[in-house]
Amino acid sequence: MVERGREPRDLLPLTPAVLHILLALADEERHGYGIMREVEERTGGYTRLGPGTLYGSIKRMLADGLIEESNERPDPAMDDQRRRYYRITDFGRKVAGAEAERLQSLVSAAQAKKISFGARQLPGGS
């Protein structure tokens, strides 16, 4: 469970899987397969979360208070009752924001050093 007084930065850096899961849950509740599909679609197939990675991460994220299981269910006629739905917590949203700030700082440092990726230079670089 979440310890009181813990700061979002205490959990940084996040693993890529954890950040992708938080992003997938940022706009709506999803079940495991829905999370996997959203991550794959959002990354153009570049990132695929396997079941072991997904459910191992979910277990740790539940324990850390980043996400919680949702009691709300879609229409039972359109859903499998065995599915578990997850949603991001307020603390999880703060942790994702802190990680985004950390990554933005890294990108800014790379831009300042004129680091480029392949033939493309980072946006904002000269």
Please give the structure tokens belonging to residue 31.
Answer: 């079940």
Sheet strands side by side (includes 30-31): 30-31, 85-88, 67-69
Alpha helix locations (H) across the chain?
Answer: 16-25, 32-42, 51-64, 90-112
- 103 domain-assigned: yes
Count: domains in the chain: 1
- Identify the band that residue 122 occupies on the pLDDT scale cut at 50, 70 and 90: very low
What's the CATH number where 42 sits?
Answer: 1.10.10.10
pLDDT in tens, 85-103: 999 999 999 999 999 999 9
- 72 domain-assigned: yes
- 86 domain-assigned: yes
- Identify the band that residue 72 occupies on the pLDDT scale cut at 50, 70 and 90: confident
- 43 domain-assigned: yes
Whether the Cβ atoms of residue 99 and residue 12 lie closer than 8 Å to each other: yes
Q: If we measure between CA atoms, which residue out of 25, 29, 9 comes closest to residue 17?
A: 25
- Identify the band that residue 73 occupies on the pLDDT scale cut at 50, 70 and 90: low
Summary count for the chain: helices (H), strands (E): 4, 5
- 100 domain-assigned: yes
Range of the domain at 43: 11-116
pLDDT in tens, 23-53: 999 999 999 999 999 999 999 999 999 999 9
Whether the Cβ atoms of residue 100 and residue 18 lie closer than 8 Å to each other: no
pTM: 0.84
- 6 domain-assigned: no
For residue 103, the model assigns a pLDDT of 96
- 85 domain-assigned: yes
- 91 domain-assigned: yes
